[in-house]
Copies of this chain bind each other. A is one copy, B any other.
Amino acid sequence: MLENPDTLFMKAALLEAEKAFAEDEVPVGAVVVSRNRIIARAHNQTERLRDATAHAEMLALTAAEETLGSKILETCTLYVTLEPCVMCAGACFWTRIGRVVVAAADAKVGFLRFGTGLLHPRTEYYQGVEAEAAADLLRTYFQAKRN
Protein backbone atom coordinates (compact mmCIF):
# COMPACT_ATOMS: atom_id res chain seq x y z
CA MET A 1 0.00 0.00 0.00
CA LEU A 2 1.22 3.47 -0.85
CA GLU A 3 2.13 5.66 2.08
CA ASN A 4 0.10 8.81 2.69
CA PRO A 5 1.96 11.71 0.95
CA ASP A 6 1.80 13.84 4.12
CA THR A 7 3.51 11.05 6.09
CA LEU A 8 6.09 10.59 3.35
CA PHE A 9 7.00 14.28 3.16
CA MET A 10 7.01 14.62 6.94
CA LYS A 11 9.54 11.79 7.04
CA ALA A 12 11.76 13.91 4.77
CA ALA A 13 11.35 16.80 7.24
CA LEU A 14 12.29 14.39 10.06
CA LEU A 15 15.49 13.49 8.21
CA GLU A 16 16.30 17.21 8.22
CA ALA A 17 15.57 17.37 11.96
CA GLU A 18 18.00 14.50 12.46
CA LYS A 19 20.67 16.47 10.61
CA ALA A 20 20.11 19.34 13.03
CA PHE A 21 20.42 16.89 15.93
CA ALA A 22 23.73 15.58 14.55
CA GLU A 23 24.99 19.20 14.37
CA ASP A 24 23.95 19.90 17.97
CA GLU A 25 21.14 22.21 16.90
CA VAL A 26 17.59 22.08 18.26
CA PRO A 27 16.28 19.26 16.04
CA VAL A 28 13.63 20.82 13.81
CA GLY A 29 13.42 20.13 10.10
CA ALA A 30 11.27 21.36 7.24
CA VAL A 31 10.63 20.70 3.58
CA VAL A 32 8.58 22.61 1.03
CA VAL A 33 6.65 20.61 -1.54
CA SER A 34 5.31 21.89 -4.84
CA ARG A 35 3.33 19.67 -7.22
CA ASN A 36 4.28 16.58 -5.25
CA ARG A 37 8.01 17.33 -5.40
CA ILE A 38 10.33 18.56 -2.63
CA ILE A 39 11.70 21.93 -3.77
CA ALA A 40 13.43 22.94 -0.52
CA ARG A 41 14.85 21.19 2.55
CA ALA A 42 16.27 22.85 5.64
CA HIS A 43 17.01 22.34 9.30
CA ASN A 44 17.45 24.68 12.20
CA GLN A 45 20.85 26.41 12.04
CA THR A 46 20.61 29.06 14.75
CA GLU A 47 23.85 27.94 16.43
CA ARG A 48 25.98 27.45 13.35
CA LEU A 49 24.89 30.72 11.75
CA ARG A 50 24.72 32.53 15.10
CA ASP A 51 21.40 33.82 13.88
CA ALA A 52 18.31 33.56 16.06
CA THR A 53 16.13 33.80 12.95
CA ALA A 54 17.71 30.80 11.15
CA HIS A 55 14.80 28.46 11.91
CA ALA A 56 14.16 25.49 9.62
CA GLU A 57 10.97 27.11 8.28
CA MET A 58 12.61 30.46 7.44
CA LEU A 59 15.42 28.71 5.58
CA ALA A 60 13.06 26.34 3.77
CA LEU A 61 10.62 29.10 2.74
CA THR A 62 13.43 31.33 1.47
CA ALA A 63 14.96 28.43 -0.47
CA ALA A 64 11.55 27.61 -1.98
CA GLU A 65 11.06 31.24 -3.08
CA GLU A 66 14.50 31.08 -4.67
CA THR A 67 13.71 27.82 -6.46
CA LEU A 68 10.40 29.10 -7.84
CA GLY A 69 11.64 32.65 -8.46
CA SER A 70 8.57 33.89 -6.63
CA LYS A 71 7.71 35.53 -3.30
CA ILE A 72 4.39 33.71 -3.30
CA LEU A 73 4.09 30.01 -2.44
CA GLU A 74 0.34 29.57 -2.82
CA THR A 75 0.70 26.18 -4.53
CA CYS A 76 3.15 24.81 -1.94
CA THR A 77 2.97 22.89 1.31
CA LEU A 78 5.38 23.42 4.18
CA TYR A 79 6.07 20.29 6.25
CA VAL A 80 7.72 21.06 9.56
CA THR A 81 8.47 18.79 12.51
CA LEU A 82 7.50 21.33 15.20
CA GLU A 83 4.67 23.85 15.43
CA PRO A 84 6.08 27.11 13.99
CA CYS A 85 6.87 30.05 16.26
CA VAL A 86 5.31 33.48 15.76
CA MET A 87 8.13 34.58 13.42
CA CYS A 88 7.77 31.54 11.18
CA ALA A 89 3.96 31.78 11.17
CA GLY A 90 4.45 35.40 10.05
CA ALA A 91 6.78 34.24 7.27
CA CYS A 92 4.12 31.73 6.18
CA PHE A 93 1.64 34.61 6.08
CA TRP A 94 3.79 36.68 3.72
CA THR A 95 4.47 33.79 1.34
CA ARG A 96 0.73 32.91 1.41
CA ILE A 97 1.75 29.28 1.48
CA GLY A 98 -1.10 26.95 0.56
CA ARG A 99 -0.76 24.43 3.38
CA VAL A 100 1.22 24.04 6.56
CA VAL A 101 1.53 20.50 7.90
CA VAL A 102 3.09 20.11 11.34
CA ALA A 103 4.26 17.13 13.39
CA ALA A 104 4.59 18.00 17.10
CA ALA A 105 2.82 20.78 19.01
CA ASP A 106 4.85 23.47 20.80
CA ALA A 107 2.78 24.70 23.72
CA LYS A 108 5.57 26.98 24.96
CA VAL A 109 6.55 29.09 21.96
CA GLY A 110 4.27 27.82 19.17
CA PHE A 111 2.22 30.43 17.31
CA LEU A 112 -1.12 28.76 18.12
CA ARG A 113 -1.06 30.53 21.51
CA PHE A 114 -2.10 33.57 19.47
CA GLY A 115 -4.53 31.73 17.19
CA THR A 116 -4.56 30.76 13.52
CA GLY A 117 -5.18 34.43 12.64
CA LEU A 118 -1.40 34.76 12.36
CA LEU A 119 -1.51 32.71 9.16
CA HIS A 120 -2.93 33.89 5.84
CA PRO A 121 -6.70 33.26 5.69
CA ARG A 122 -6.16 31.00 2.67
CA THR A 123 -3.54 28.81 4.32
CA GLU A 124 -4.72 25.36 5.44
CA TYR A 125 -3.21 24.19 8.71
CA TYR A 126 -2.89 20.63 9.90
CA GLN A 127 -1.00 19.28 12.91
CA GLY A 128 -0.19 15.78 14.17
CA VAL A 129 1.58 13.96 11.31
CA GLU A 130 4.47 11.86 12.73
CA ALA A 131 4.11 13.88 15.93
CA GLU A 132 5.60 11.23 18.19
CA ALA A 133 8.79 10.76 16.18
CA ALA A 134 9.33 14.53 16.08
CA ALA A 135 8.64 14.98 19.79
CA ASP A 136 10.88 12.03 20.69
CA LEU A 137 13.81 13.57 18.85
CA LEU A 138 13.32 16.90 20.63
CA ARG A 139 12.97 15.18 24.01
CA THR A 140 16.19 13.21 23.48
CA TYR A 141 18.00 16.43 22.49
CA PHE A 142 16.89 18.43 25.52
CA GLN A 143 17.46 15.52 27.94
CA ALA A 144 21.05 15.22 26.70
CA LYS A 145 21.50 18.99 27.15
CA ARG A 146 20.37 18.78 30.78
CA ASN A 147 22.84 15.99 31.64
Contact residues of A with B, CB < 8 Å?
46, 50-53, 58, 61-62, 65-66, 69-72, 85-91, 93-95, 111, 114-115, 117-118
Contacts and interface: CB of A to CB of B under 8 A. Distances in A.
Q: How many chain copies does the complex carry?
A: 2
Contacts of A94: 46, 52-53, 85, 87
Contacts of A86: 86-87, 89-90, 93, 118
A89 to B, nearest CB: 7
Given A50-B71, A53-B95, A87-B93, 18 more contacts: A50-B65, A51-B66, A51-B71, A52-B71, A53-B62, A53-B91, A85-B90, A85-B93, A86-B87, A86-B89, A86-B90, A87-B87, A87-B88, A87-B90, A88-B90, A89-B90, A90-B111, A114-B117
A50 to B, nearest CB: 5
Nearest to A87: B90
Contacts of A115: 114
Nearest to A84: B90
A72 B51 CA distance: 8
B53 A58 contact: yes
A71 B46 contact: yes
